[in-house]
A and B are shown apart, each in its own frame.
Chain A
Amino acid sequence: MENRAMHFKARAGQKLADVLLQENLGKAKSRFVGMRAKAIVEVDDFEATREAAKLLRNRSLDDLDLWLEQFEQQATRRGATVLWARDSAEICKLVIDIAQRHGVKKITKSKSMLSEEAGLNLALEAAGIQPVETDLGEYILQINDNEPPSHIIAPVFHKSKEEISALFARTHRRPALTDIQALTREAREVLRPHFLSADMGISGGNFLVAETGSVALVTNEGNGRMVTTLPKVHVVVTGIEKVIPTLEDLSTLMRLLPRSATGQSISNYFSLLTGVKKPEESDGPEHLYFILVDNGRADLVGGEFAEMLRCIRCGACMNHCPVYQTVGGHAYGWVYPGPMGSILTPLFTGLENAIDLPQAATLCNQCGVVCPVKIPLPDLLRKLREKQMERRLRPLTERLALLAWGWMARHPRLYALGTKIGVRYLQWLAHDGERNDRIRILGMATEWTRGRDFPAPEGKTFREMYAARKGNP
């Protein structure tokens, strides 16, 4: 997918001005946050479970090559083919090759973020193969001119029921429905023939289990089952970091994932798919492929940002992020939004291509405390900021201001004088006759006063007053 992260600030501005979006975001936020809070109290010791999950994800990543090898052996033993993709182009090429080998005309898809990274739908269309998204959210986006998702688990987080109703009426040429159930029924009717006629299904994978060579799928709509069992070919596209050693590990993570993501004790559907259809079995694919993708992940192993690889893509960090809640996912400009996106986008697409993202956070750590695998997201954002400084990627004025402040603060006499003058200057700015307690336009930082006033300083600095009080100015 094309990276538009460089325009974060401009896009955020547009999103703030979008009244309808603001309304939709408000509703969606309170739902996710509230439901998670209720669901986590069901787990006896949620914090201990988070710690266990962190450790097991670390264990998986410390010996990533080993587990991947074991996964490959086990999956192959059960009739699957394991393929490796280095980047987006290789994902597209491998999928198209498989489709052509099996004479595929139509592909049904359940949600896969890797497919978004690769821009797979466009590549398939260009190769004359029809992709049909079957996750309700993804389907809505596909018929809306391939709009990108704004959330990793709720792709249409930004849309209202009314917008979807109008889109359905327009696309399906049917009377507009208002009720969510009726809309879902309509989507089901439209999708059913596709399920039955597709020759290949593509899914993502929430986890890969090394000891059995299985893929675990967590879904809520049942479309995942249709996509992975009806067509004769099933292709799983997922990241190499998704592998975990054992089924026991899977059960630990499953106590956290649905609760953190949607506030459900367990998702409506949970599939553990192992191998191709056996002769005595009634359903399942005859051909099963795994495309395991690097796309920047291998470089992170063992490095400063390795902790990010623990991510299980639950979306809790964005649900709890004040910035995400205020501008939504599209402002971030690439596949992954919110705190995890502000880290992954620069790491996967280049620090210089996402200048704003590491900065677009208050470091409030509302994300870090909800992350089920305890990724210290604010620390990683700060590390990215350090890299930006090292590589001089921030504007010169900003770097100079920072250096000047740092230098002043190391020279107390100059600092005392500088702040004394600064405070007088601020008071002068606040002076407007009747009310002198606020600044309407802040000279050196007009950004502040675009949306709020800047309270005036009291008068003198503490330092001055304290010295006067002690009688030794």
Chain B
Amino acid sequence: MRVGLFVTCLVDMMRPRIGFAALKLLEAAGCEVVVPAGQTCCGQPAYNSGDRESARQLAIKLLDEFESCEYVVAPSGSCAGMIRTHYVDLAGEGEALARRMAALSSRTYELTDFLVNVAKFDKVPGDYQGSITYHDSCSGLRELGVKTQPRALLAQIPGVALHEMKGAEECCGFGGAFSVKFGELSAAIAEKKCEAIQATGGDAIVGGDLGCLLNIEGKLRRMGDEKTKVLHVAEILAGDTKGTR
């Protein structure tokens, strides 16, 4: 299977190790992984801010870069959700383009969804030991139905004990540009999420979207919590949690 890895702009800048973890997992699942060099951003920030034209151009750019791949996989429910549920809307009238977009959308997956439902991956290499809780990010959950997939994969690691938090499906308050337009409000929503995380008594919070994780980590640290680890599901599945704080 020829899989195009869409690293996502946040992972590229903030946490490359998540990108490498995703790469490792896809290769372990027997995929031939390509990482198109010119890739940047899926266009979601522009799309959600009302700049439809920029979003449209970025969508076309991504389409050109990934069209030759059998599948497109991203370690993010938010970016995969953008491609999967909104690209067709962005294609607009032009019929040929809309058809190409629809074809790309239907081949685009969030990482854990792909590993479970397409690659049928059952050799998770991670060896994490500890109790964790899982935050279901909004787009992954409500746009792509990512809920059981990460849990099924995590269950393959014998040392992982999952304790669900109260309101795991509730928004963490990130919301992309919302987090800098309404900083205080966004942080106040994050605080409730962090309290729910802490109440599980787990030693790590795991999720599938870096945006949410940065928000949660930033809030936990500001609340004085230095001990709860914040991990992307790819890191824990790949067994690459050494570099984390």
Chain B proximity mask over A389-420: 1 for CB below 8 Å, otherwise 0: 11000100010001101111110100100010
Q: Does B40 interact with chain A (Cβ within 8 Å)? A: yes
Q: Does A445 interact with chain B (Cβ within 8 Å)? A: yes
**Could you say which residues of chain B place their CB within 8 Å of the CB of A422?**
13
The answer to whether A452 touches B187, judged by C-beta atoms less than 8 angstroms apart, is yes
The answer to whether A438 touches B187, judged by C-beta atoms less than 8 angstroms apart, is no
The answer to whether B17 touches A365, judged by C-beta atoms less than 8 angstroms apart, is no
Q: Does B129 interact with chain A (Cβ within 8 Å)? A: no
Q: Is the interface of B mostly helix, strand, loop or mixed?
A: helix
**Could you say which residues of chain A place their CB within 8 Å of the CB of B138?**
362-366
Shortest distance from the beta carbon of B26 to any chain A beta carbon, whole Å:
14
The answer to whether B35 touches A466, judged by C-beta atoms less than 8 angstroms apart, is yes
Q: How far is the CA of A462 from the CA of B190 in the complex (A)?
A: 27
The answer to whether B48 touches A453, judged by C-beta atoms less than 8 angstroms apart, is no
Chain B proximity mask over A70-84: 1 for CB below 8 Å, otherwise 0: 000000000000000
| Least CB separation from B60: chain A residue | A410
Q: Does B45 interact with chain A (Cβ within 8 Å)? A: yes
The answer to whether A448 touches B171, judged by C-beta atoms less than 8 angstroms apart, is no
**Could you say which residues of chain B place their CB within 8 Å of the CB of A423?**
13-14
Given A422-B13, A461-B13, residue A409 in contact with residue B41 (CB < 8 A): yes
Q: Does A360 interact with chain B (Cβ within 8 Å)? A: yes
Q: How far is the CA of A453 from the CA of B222 in the complex (A)?
A: 6
Given A365-B138, A451-B186, residue A462 in contact with residue B40 (CB < 8 A): no
The answer to whether B48 touches A447, judged by C-beta atoms less than 8 angstroms apart, is no
Given A461-B16, A462-B19, residue A402 in contact with residue B173 (CB < 8 A): no
Q: Does B239 interact with chain A (Cβ within 8 Å)? A: no
Shortest distance from the beta carbon of A321 to any chain B beta carbon, whole Å:
9
| Least CB separation from B19: chain A residue | A462
**Could you say which residues of chain B place their CB within 8 Å of the CB of A382?**
47-48, 50
The answer to whether A16 touches B12, judged by C-beta atoms less than 8 angstroms apart, is no
| Least CB separation from A469: chain B residue | B20
Shortest distance from the beta carbon of B82 to any chain A beta carbon, whole Å:
11
Shortest distance from the beta carbon of A367 to any chain B beta carbon, whole Å:
10
The answer to whether B245 touches A437, judged by C-beta atoms less than 8 angstroms apart, is yes
Given A419-B12, A445-B180, residue A458 in contact with residue B189 (CB < 8 A): no
Q: How far is the CA of A136 from the CA of B191 in the complex (A)?
A: 34
Chain B binder among A104-112, A142-150, A322-330: A322-330
Instruction: Choose one: A359, A365, A455, A467; the contact of B214 (CB below 8 Å).
Output: A455
**Could you say which residues of chain B place their CB within 8 Å of the CB of A462?**
7, 11-13, 16, 19-20
Q: How large is the interface on B (under 10, 10 to 19, 20 to 34, 35 or more residues)?
A: 35 or more
The answer to whether B20 touches A465, judged by C-beta atoms less than 8 angstroms apart, is yes
Q: How far is the CA of A387 from the CA of B51 in the complex (A)?
A: 9
Instruction: Choose one: B20, B142, B174, B183; the contact of A365 (CB below 8 Å).
Output: B142
Shortest distance from the beta carbon of A451 to any chain B beta carbon, whole Å:
3
The answer to whether B37 touches A406, judged by C-beta atoms less than 8 angstroms apart, is no
Interface residues of B in 124-157 (CB under 8 A from A): 138-139, 142-143
| Least CB separation from A447: chain B residue | B183
Instruction: Choose one: A408, A412, A450, A463; the contact of B184 (CB below 8 Å).
Output: A450
Interface residues of A in 175-191 (CB under 8 A from B): none
Shortest distance from the beta carbon of A407 to any chain B beta carbon, whole Å:
8
Chain B proximity mask over A355-385: 1 for CB below 8 Å, otherwise 0: 0000111111110110000000000001011
The answer to whether A454 touches B51, judged by C-beta atoms less than 8 angstroms apart, is no
**Could you say which residues of chain B place their CB within 8 Å of the CB of A365?**
138-139, 142-143
Given A405-B45, A406-B57, A462-B16, residue A451 in contact with residue B183 (CB < 8 A): yes
| Least CB separation from B169: chain A residue | A366
**Could you say which residues of chain A place their CB within 8 Å of the CB of B170?**
322, 364, 366
Q: Does A137 interact with chain B (Cβ within 8 Å)? A: no
Interface residues of A in 125-149 (CB under 8 A from B): none
Q: List 16 A-B contacts (CB under 8 A).
A: A16-B184, A322-B189, A326-B192, A327-B185, A359-B181, A362-B173, A364-B170, A364-B171, A364-B175, A382-B48, A384-B50, A419-B13, A451-B186, A451-B191, A457-B14, A463-B7
Top 7 A-B pairs ranked by shortest CB distance? A451-B187, A362-B175, A406-B54, A447-B183, A385-B50, A364-B171, A462-B16
